[in-house]
Amino acid sequence: MEGAVTALLCRTSDRDARGAQGAEALAFELATRLGTEARNVGSPGEPRESGWEDDLRDSHGCLLEAGGQLDDALTAGRYPILTSSDCSICMTTLPALMRQRPDAWVLWLDAHGDFNSPDTTPSGFLGGMCLAAACGVWDSGLGAGLDPARVVMCGVRDVDPGERVLLDTRGVGLVERPSQLADALDGRPVFVHLDLDVIDPTILPAKFPAPGGLSDGGLRTLLGEVSEAVDLIGVEITGLLAPDRARRVATMVEPLLAPVAVG
């Protein structure tokens, strides 16, 4: 299968200029390993701390572009590999995934659940509400369609109280031990959402650091086990705030490239 490597550089809810830089650098490294070229979409906006309503309005076009890139790749029979600064892209990528592959499961590797609603969010950060929007918990105006019961989380360790209630009542799956993840998803078609803050902040910097994350070797082992057990159908990677470590991160996530024939 041919890969489609895309770096989404335009601003969604970015609060750090290094996010877009990291997305571009990582896409380049991944594309190089596949013997292809990455496509850069958009140009970085000015990072700022904004409320979710402002970011949702201002980033509307960029978010639609993210979903469109995934939709185009799947329609063409290609394996989508998206990089971006923030997880907000999942507000359109996951609904697009469900339209194309309603049988898909989502593996959510992230320090955070991103499952707040406008009523539960303590920070007002759009990136902390994006998965809930994709699951129809609240109406972003960008579509939904993902059944929360088809989401399996691992590495999540920083969850707000109201968010915890939503996760529990909506039936989102949680695997506590990474070693059990491959068995939990065995044989299923899986799209991977990977926020690099799932790695411990002593290894990689994070916008919202949460101690107790995976080691770099632990992440590669987890991804290797998962890639052998499931039918990988795509991946999105966010949160690289250290562009100079893109090559190292590409090595960590290399198992996610398994479906793509090199050359």
The string of DSSP letters for 152-164 reads EEES--B--HHHH
Q: Residue with structure tokens 């496509």?
A: 39
Q: What pLDDT does residue 166 have?
A: 98
Q: What is the mean pLDDT of each run of 10 residues along the chain (263 residues)?
A: 96 95 98 97 94 97 98 98 98 98 98 98 98 98 97 98 98 96 97 98 96 97 98 98 98 97 52
Strand ranges for 33-78 from DSSP E: 39-41
Structural contact between residues 27 and 38, judged by C-beta atoms closer than 8 angstroms: yes
Answering whether pTM is above 0.95, one says yes
Q: What pLDDT does residue 129 have?
A: 98
**Helix, strand, coil in percent for the chain, rounding step 5:** 45, 15, 40
Contacts of 216 (CB under 8 A, 6+ apart): 199, 203, 204, 248, 252
Q: What pLDDT does residue 4 have?
A: 98
Q: Residue with structure tokens 């910097």?
A: 205
Cα separation, 13 vs 19, whole angstroms: 10
**Apex CA 116: angle with CA 146 and CA 41, to 5°?**
65
